[in-house]
A and B are shown apart, each in its own frame.
Chain A
Amino acid sequence: MGHLKDKLQELKQFQEDAIIRIQTLGQFNLWRNNEKVDSKQFGRDKAVQLLQYLISNRQRHALHKEKIMDHLWEEGDDRDFKVALHGINKVLEPERPSRTEPSFVIRQGISYQLDLEKIWIDVEALEQYIIIGNEALGEDLTVTKSAYKSAIALYQGVYLPNRIFEDWSSEEREKIQVLILGAYVILAEILLQENPLESIRLAQCAIAIDKTWEDAYRLQMQAYIIKGNRPQAIKAYQKCADVLDQEYGIDPLPATKKLLQEIESI
């Protein structure tokens, strides 16, 4: 399992060393050489949007210019695209000599993509942490815990909150939400005996994202019982039952009901 530990360390180191770092969760920020870049430096909002679009589609290699324009511009032409791209390159590499190829935004013909080996992006790191956490699960809990904690620390809020009405950002937002929901619940489960109060907090974070996430309520019930707080455990069940009834018109799962019975018999 040593390689997972190394990968985790590399990922943490990359966050420290990367020349360009981008935050997309909770709010949008960019740091160049550890200095926060004012969004005015992009020149216009379309340049910011283009960068955010490239981030949202970073795993689809080489995005065709026409496709990008179709998503971002109502009736844009080549010039609009060039201006926006120039805005990004100017922010990422202000000292780049003219007539040299940009090194952060890779161009192949008329396709574009971000160089993820050079740019640190919180959503990409979050996903990588969760992958490491999942791989280490059942093998090395220390690595799992560390990886999930790192992922959770990066989750400062929804993905690109100022673009929630833009459909090109919604897929990434949904993906990250599902990933972080899983991370909250798995870490809460791992920490149940060791730190039940933290389990309660993590489960609450999951419920704040999706109030119908039943696993989170069950974990809260278990954690409260470990803490000897029977009334709160029953209250957590009641909250779960109310939400499920209100949202779906259904009862909690048999496992949740069974847990309630166990709690009531204490």
Chain B
Amino acid sequence: MTKKTDQTASFMVRFNQIIFEEDGESKVQWRGKVSHIQGGEDQSFSDFNDAVKFIQERLADLTLEATKHKSPEQQDSLLKKSFSLWKTMAKEGPKVIMETIKDPRKQVAHFQDQITDFGEDLMEKVPIDQWRNASRSDFNSIKESISQLADEMKKLNAKVDAINKPVKTTRATKTTKKTIKKTTPPKKK
């Protein structure tokens, strides 16, 4: 049986927010670093997609290592299942984060349109036009989005657990500046 430690990958993600003035306009930049704890490698990123790609590559290595004694067909199938966990994260996560960072007002307008679809009671508009550039609360909401994404990941993991039986739990620890994501792919049968 493969050891639990061999089935675990932990990642530390550091986000460094930089707010500055340029051409009379307030701007924000995010610089980050993602580290793979068990492997010791790290990568800087300014595009969250690069961080996700870094994580995916390490997880694929983990799944390949754990399934190296299986047939190519079984290995391929397990890899696909393993990747399915990441589809939502890879596709939607960076999109939401980057769009919110780029233009919080547009995101709010988008969410508002979705909310107003639910009925008259929610028709009262948020005064978006009066909003100024990205504020602290905008960034707090980004942090919440990241937190929600982590929760969604947990739920997804639980669902795959239920389908594939022997899967370890996912842990996620958050602080204001850093995130540890620990993900365990399906264990060897």
Interface residues in chain A, defined as those with a beta carbon under 8 Å from any beta carbon in chain B:
74, 164-167, 170-171, 174-175, 178, 210, 212, 214, 247-250, 253-255
Contact = CB atoms under 8 A, between A and B. Distances in A.
Which of B33, B44, B45 has the most CB atoms of chain A within a 10 A radius of its CB?
B44
A175 B182 contact: no
Nearest to B14: A174
B133 interface: no
A255 B14 CA distance: 23
A210 B18 CA distance: 15
Nearest to A256: B20
Contacts of B20: 253-255
Contacts of A212: 31, 33, 44
B32 to A, nearest CB: 9
B8 A248 contact: no
Given A74-B5, A166-B37, A175-B175, 4 more contacts: A165-B40, A170-B12, A174-B178, A178-B177
Interface in B25-52: 29, 31, 33, 35, 37-40, 44-46
A174 B40 CA distance: 13
A248 B46 contact: yes
A74 B8 CA distance: 12
Contacts of B29: 250, 253
B46 A171 contact: no
Contacts of A255: 20
Contacts of B31: 212, 248, 250
B45 A170 contact: no
B44 A248 contact: yes
B180 interface: yes
B3 interface: yes
A214 B35 CA distance: 20
Contact of B18 (A74, A171, A249, A253): A253
Q: Is the interface of A mostly helix, strand, loop or mixed?
A: helix
A170 B37 contact: yes
B84 interface: no
A254 B12 contact: no
Contact of A247 (B4, B44, B173): B44
Contacts of B33: 210, 212
B100 interface: no
A171 B14 CA distance: 11
Contacts of A254: 20-22
Contacts of B38: 165, 167
A166 B39 CA distance: 10
A225 B35 CA distance: 36
Contacts of A247: 44
A164 B12 contact: no
Which of A165, A174, A212, A214 has the most CB atoms of chain B within a 10 A radius of its CB?
A174
Given A74-B4, A253-B18, A254-B21, A171 B40 contact: no
Nearest to B177: A178
A174 to B, nearest CB: 5
Nearest to A247: B44
Contact of A164 (B40, B45, B46, B175): B40
Nearest to B30: A248
A175 B46 contact: no
8 contacts: A165-B37, A170-B10, A170-B12, A170-B35, A171-B180, A174-B14, A248-B31, A255-B20
A167 B38 CA distance: 7
